[in-house]
Amino acid sequence: MQSDLSAAENAAIAEAVALQERLGLQFVTDGEFRRRSYHSFFYQQLGDLNIDTIAGADAQGAPDSGGRGAQPVALIKSRVRWTRPINVADFNFLKSKTKLLPKITIPGPCALHFRGGDAAVLAFSYRDMDQFWDDTIEAFDRELVALAEAGCRYVQIDETAFAKFGDPDVQAALAARGDDWSKLIDKYISITNRLLRAAPKTLHIGMHLCRGNRGGHWHAEGSYEDVAERLFNALEIPFYFLEFDSPRAGNFTPLRFVPKQKSVVLGLISSKTPVLEDKAALRARVEEASRHVSLDRLSISPQCGFASVDTGNPVTAQGQDAKLRLVVELARDLWGRT
């Protein structure tokens, strides 16, 4: 029954909040326990939209555990329309459970298009791409306004496209559907900037980027180098959460493009694997990154959430606790705070 599900979700969120408080974090999330996935929940509230249809593969990705998973595709069978607040109730519940700063996460405004391109947009409900982008920006803007009016001050945009553009396989797939990956970056930056400029000024908005995190699998590999200059300078985001937990993400040299007014959270700890990282090795990696971005503008975190979809990742609750504890310990060692 729905009442039983809601009660279980409430209990899981309360437990997640207690964990974050116990570890000494300065803000909290609700663990997204009311969502099947980090992005499908949001987009399904905006119409007959499906962002994660899996074509020819199981939803957990490729059969070789830990390898490249199938890239989900989008089905856009209606116009994008905001009709009611999507995350306000979640924000209010989270706020009622803690005195710390609540953080709300939303998918990126370009995620739906990235999963299908113009063809998916024009297949059913749109004849004009400009109308699609106008609808998308309006929907996201109205949601951000609703959150701000409810008292929300911290929003994280989960946008995976920018990190995937550096993968030759992704570039080839985009070309096969008629997209020039480099031109698409510029388009996505323009769309995201339109949203950011319209967003309430009381909101602190950061962007998380990764290369996929689905049942321990990933969707792309490759350095930030191809996108770094535009990502860090043309995109009007003040702080970034960047995946750097494996060699698939490349080295830190693309951080040389980060301007002095922006900051970076280094995703050094993997949420996809159960192995607990070595603190000394992590410290050395932070020091390496600080050659490009000053230490006072760096932070650390896991490279992604511990479950982008309801199937989760092959990390136990105890493993998650240990990895988060490691984040806090290292942050205190390096900066004297979390």
Q: Which pLDDT tens digits describe the chain residue by residue (338 residues)?
A: 889 999 999 999 999 999 999 999 999 999 888 888 777 889 999 999 998 775 544 434 444 445 666 677 889 999 999 999 999 999 999 999 999 999 999 999 999 999 999 999 999 999 999 999 999 999 999 999 999 999 999 999 999 888 888 888 889 989 999 999 999 999 999 999 999 999 999 999 999 998 766 655 555 667 889 899 999 999 999 999 999 988 877 899 999 999 999 999 999 999 888 999 999 999 999 999 999 999 999 999 999 888 766 676 778 889 999 999 999 999 999 998 76
Q: Give whole-number Cα distances, 139 to 46, 132, 153, 187, in Å.
A: 8, 11, 19, 18
How many folded domains does the chain comprise? 1
Task: Round to whole Å and give the CA distance between 74 and 113.
Answer: 8
* pLDDT of amino acid 143: 98
Q: Which domain holds residue 186?
A: 2-335
Q: Is 185 exposed, middle or buried (0-12, 13-18, 19+ CB in 10 A)?
A: buried
Asked if residues 141 and 192 have their Cβ atoms less than 8 Å apart, the reply is no
Q: Is 172 exposed, middle or buried (0-12, 13-18, 19+ CB in 10 A)?
A: exposed
CATH of the domain at 185: 3.20.20.210
pTM: 0.90
Reported in sequence order, the residue ranges of the chain that DSSP labels E, i.e. its strands, are 27-28, 49-53, 73-76, 101-102, 104-107, 154-158, 204-209, 239-243, 263-269, 298-302
Task: Round to whole Å and give the CA distance between 91 and 89.
Answer: 5
Q: What angle do CA 91, 93, 94 make, to 5 degrees?
A: 65
* pLDDT of amino acid 217: 59
Asked if residues 12 and 31 have their Cβ atoms less than 8 Å apart, the reply is yes
